[in-house]
Amino acid sequence: MSLNTSPSSVLTLWRGRWARFWEVFPLSRATRVVLLILVGATVAVDLIRATIAGELPNGIPPVIVAVIIAGFAWRPLLAVVLLVGGAIVVIPLGATDVWLLGMAIAAGLVVVSCSVPLAVAYGAVFLVAIVIGESARVDVRPLAFVIVLLVVAAASFLGGALFRSARRKQKALVARLSAEAVAARAAVQEERLRIADELHDFIAHELTIIVMHARVLDRTGDPQTSAMARRAIEDAAVQALADIRRVLDATQAHRFTPGPGADDVVDRRHTLTDALTDARRELAGLGGRVNVGDLATDREPLSRTIDAGLAHIVREATTNIVKHGGAGDIDIEVHRSSDDVRLTIENDLDATVSPMQLPRGGYGLARMRERALLSGGTFEVGPRDGRWIVSVTVPSR
């Protein structure tokens, strides 16, 4: 202990040690039942034996000791205090045999239900009681009884220690299994969220493109426009199938064999440059002016995490424009500085063509915000000057 320790900290330290000294570990319900059955049987046998022998008064001390031992089922500390206090009282009277035998039998219960320091103190008191009790005797008897007391106490201590060790291992096992169950549930939940992200970020995007170009086919008679819409539907369907296959590959124990070119189709969608290219192509079919800026190549490449996060945001914003924006001018700009990257996506709110009637879940905006914040950036979304604006700023590294 440091010499500079304040009195208050010393007092707190000793209070903690004192509290740990008197710490108890209640017996389990099954252990209490077994203890009470054994004590009850012992009391019954002693009373019957004393009654038959006509020595009922001599049967009272064993009953008292047995009742105190039964107290370990509910109040271990009280039982310890009564056993030790009783020994202090009966030793001067010379009636030590029954009490010392009771203390020897109860030693295991002390080890099981009380703190280690208290169990050690109890053992020390027990040994002192034996020495004083034998010294106070007027007559001299063989050491056989003392040896019996020591053997019984040692066996009880050992049994209690083994029981306590088994209980500690059981608690550790239960805690480990509980932690593993929590980890397994968390892993399942994480996997579900990942699959939901995959379905939303990729498959829902392609289905939206398919619906948009199917709508174009219904409303146009231009062969060139129809051919372009059919190609877009085919490309989106192929991409959706590849994405579904990838999700299945990640969740099934027996992986499916990817189709030809599936990896190339999927991998290209994870970069911001390709996401901007896809957005330019997909938004061109809405009927308005589309201005999609390119990512500057004169600087160091973006980190993979930042690049993939911005690609997801571009893809999600493109999906939202297709679903809800209708026809109108669309601007997607990427501005890089030495410290950060700013992505701005704008589209007109006063479009002449009504937006597509598709479900609105709000999941996309929440995921865009989450991706930006996880990257250490900011996310802003909302109407401004007749336009819907999505603005994301993230660190460039």
pLDDT tens-place string over residues 70-88 = 999 999 999 999 999 988 8
Residue recorded with tokens 């008679």: 221
In angstroms, the CA 80 to CA 118 distance is 9
Provide, rounded to the nearest whole percent, the portion of the chain with pLDDT above 70: 82
pLDDT of residue 267: 46
pLDDT of residue 161: 92
In angstroms, the CA 315 to CA 279 distance is 7
DSSP letter assigned to residue 164: H
Q: In this structure, what token pair is assigned to residue 33?
A: 């039942």
Distance from the first to the final alpha carbon of the chain: 48
Q: CA angle, 218 as apex, 213 and 222 as ends, to 5°? A: 85
100-113 pLDDT, tens digit each? 889 999 999 999 99
pLDDT band with cut points at 50, 70 and 90 for residue 141: low
User: Minimum mean pLDDT among 34-43, 82-91, 123-132, 297-306: which range?
Assistant: 297-306
User: Minimum mean pLDDT among 9-23, 182-196, 286-300: which range?
Assistant: 286-300
pLDDT band with cut points at 50, 70 and 90 for residue 184: confident
Please, where in the chain does CATH 3.30.565.10 lie? Answer: 272-397
Cβ neighbours around 394 below 10 Å, total: 25
Cβ neighbours around 163 below 10 Å, total: 16
pLDDT of residue 327: 63
Q: In this structure, what token pair is assigned to residue 107?
A: 């030693």
Average pLDDT over residues 340-362: 68
pLDDT band with cut points at 50, 70 and 90 for residue 252: low
Q: In what order do the strands lie in the sheet with 378-384?
A: 290-292, 330-336, 340-348, 387-395, 378-384
Instruction: Decide if domain 272-397 falls under CATH 3.40.190.10.
Output: no
In angstroms, the CA 153 to CA 158 distance is 8
